[in-house]
Structures are given as C-alpha cells and as structure tokens.
Amino acid sequence: MSESPEYPSYPQSSAPTGQPPAPARPGTVEGAFWAFLASTVIGLIGGVLIFANRDGIAQALRDANRQRGGNLTDAQIDQTVNATMITAVVIAVIIAALYLLFAFKLRAGRNWARIVLTVLTALQLLSLLIGQSTIGGYLAVLAAVVGVVLSFTGPSNAYFASLKAPR
C-alpha cells in the first residue's frame, strides 16, 4: 500500500483511550442469569399446560354455576373458560418477556435489574405462599430464589459495584 500525497499517513497513538475494559462477568452473575432463564421457561411451560386442564376447569365452573343456582349455559361457560385461558397465556407471555429483559440486563451488569428481579421473585414467592400452586410453580420460584441468591453473593456484588464506579 503506497502513501498518497492527498492522504498522508500518521502514526497511530499508543495512548489509552480513556476507558478501561469492562470487568469480567463472574460465574455467580452468569448462574443467576441462567436461574432466572430457567424460572421463566418453567413458568411459560406452566402457562401452556393450562390448556391440558381445560376440561377440568370447565367442569369446576359448571359445578360452581349449579351450586349457586346460576343461569349460565354450557356455551357461556365454554366461552368464559376459553377467554380466561387465553388471557392467562397472554399475561404469562408478557411477564416472561419482561422477566427475560430483566435477566439480560442483570447479565449486562445493571444493578436496577437485579433489584427488579428480587422484587418480582419476592412477589412470586408471596403468591405461592398465599395461593395454590403446582409443582411447576414451586420449581419456578425455587429457580428464581437461586437467581436472587447468586446475584447478591460477594463476586456479584463486586461486579455490580465495579460497573457502577466511574471508570
């Protein structure tokens, strides 16, 4: 490559660019990310499995309708069950998408995402303790709790603090 008189060649500077490299992500943050990812997948599977119990839900609604002397027809009950199931799946997908967003932000070192995931996990645990759940619900909460614990261990705290500090 020859130098052109129009474009002279200048020596490259070896001075630092001013930004030190980002610290390496510790295994605890990576583990927390995968735990939150597992919790999300388990929750989505639970949301999809609700369709397997459609007949049981419809029958419970029919029984409750009869006990209360209700005047809902079978067609109205079926429509209610369908609408409820579709709504539940849509809500599960929206929550899963937000959960994934927060998990990826946690992995990128955003402390606010760690806090949001902790609050969501606490709410998830509270709803599990107050209401009824399935084995999938327990597994999803367990994975999320593991994620929270890993995200607050010593290496994780140091990682988040180093990203917050001015560089």
pLDDT tens, residue by residue, 149-160: 999 999 999 999
Over its C-alpha atoms, the chain yields an Rg (Å, rounded) of: 25
Q: Please determine, for residue 3, whether its predicted confidence score (pLDDT) is greater than 90.
A: no
Mean pLDDT of the chain: 86
H or E element, residue 48: helix 27-49
Residue 144's pLDDT is 96
* pLDDT surpasses 60 at 4: no
Read off the pLDDT of each residue in 108-133 and give the average, rounded to a whole number: 92
As a whole number, mean pLDDT of residues 58-76 equals 86
Taking residues 21-30, report their average pLDDT: 87
pLDDT the model gives residue 112:
96
Give the confidence band of 100 by pLDDT, cuts at 50, 70, 90.
very high
Among residues 39, 152, 36, the alpha carbon closest in space to that of 102 is found at: 36
Residue type, 44: L
- The per-residue pLDDT for 66 is 87
* Whole-angstrom distance, CA of residue 42 vs CA of residue 147: 14
Output 71 or 142, whichever has higher pLDDT.
142
pLDDT at position 17: 57
What average pLDDT does this structure show over 15-27? 72
Q: Cα separation of 36 and 137, whole Å?
A: 13
What pLDDT was estimated at residue 90?
87
Task: Give pLDDT, residue 19.
Answer: 62
Does the pLDDT of residue 24 top 70, yes or no? yes
- For residue 77, the tally of other CB atoms under 10 A from its CB is 18
Mean pLDDT of 136-160: 94
